[in-house]
Amino acid sequence: MLPAMFNLSGKVALITGGSKGLGKAMARGLAEAGADIVISSRHEDELKSALAEILKGTERKGAYLVADMSKRTEVGKLAAFALEKMGKVDILINNAGTNVPEAIDVITDAEWDRIMEINLNSVMALTRALVPQMKARKWGRVIHISSIMAFVSNNGRNIYSATKAALVGMARASALDLGPFGVTVNCIAPGPFLTDLPASVLSKEEQDRFGKMTALGRWGDPKELVGTSLLMASDAGSYITGSTFVVDGGFIAR
């Protein structure tokens, strides 16, 4: 049984990019802690099966919505859907993101704008839409999923590093805006977790190299991000705001 400070019974969590990888793992962890769950992604088949896995054995409620975070209108629809379906959103995890490696001198305007919209602008828009009802209840948790690429980088990660560093700065500013209303805003900066995104952009050689560069000598399992997200989402993290938690197996320590 969870300690009371980690118990999320009666809370509702919205996790973008929640159909797989880190988003799915965090959603499952929050459901196990007692939260009702809303997830979104671009693919309904993935969402349907993921939600069933997330809720299995928890007796929690859940819902999903197909939403393309590169389209501002769909971000607004997601916020409205979650509020209508669940009545409130207590915990927002802005996890949706993408990455297309391009060197600085070959970045196209179209690719820059698309990734900026998904990784940064949608986070602003969804947070903006959901924090008023958190403020009204004097309780809320906003968690942006940044990356160690906010602090270190790699060839061709110009857009990705820029957006992930921006989330760190935005969390600090939003923490000041929302602190008086009992709403905390933090970032989690994951390191090498071998989910679909890094697997799609890193060669096998790069994957092996990244794993060996951590202090633990391996990639992380998505379940190893659950503890940090639960701390940030619960009363256990009530005095933590404007912070960024690096969860990287000691990658930066090198």
**Looking at 151, 160, 210, 245, which residue is catalytic?**
160
Closest of 187, 192, 186 to residue 249, by C-alpha: 192
Retrieve residue 247's tokens.
């969860």
Cα–Cα distance for residue pair 76/67, rounded to 1 Å: 10
Query: What is the chain's alpha carbon radius of gyration, rounded to the nearest angstrom?
Result: 17
d(C-alpha 157, C-alpha 164), whole Å: 10
Selection from 215, 170, 169, 219 nearest residue 190 by Cα: 219
Cα dihedral 84→86→91→96 (10° resolution): -60
84, 130 Cβ separation under 8 angstroms:
no
Unique residue bearing structure tokens 């309780």: 139
Q: Contact at 8 Å (CB) between 194 and 224?
A: no
The whole-angstrom separation of Cα 189 and Cα 145 is: 6
Active site residue 64: no
Angle at 26 between CA 205 and CA 31, to 5 degrees: 155
Q: Assess contact for 103 and 124: CB atoms under 8 A.
A: no
Catalytic residues, by residue number, are: 160
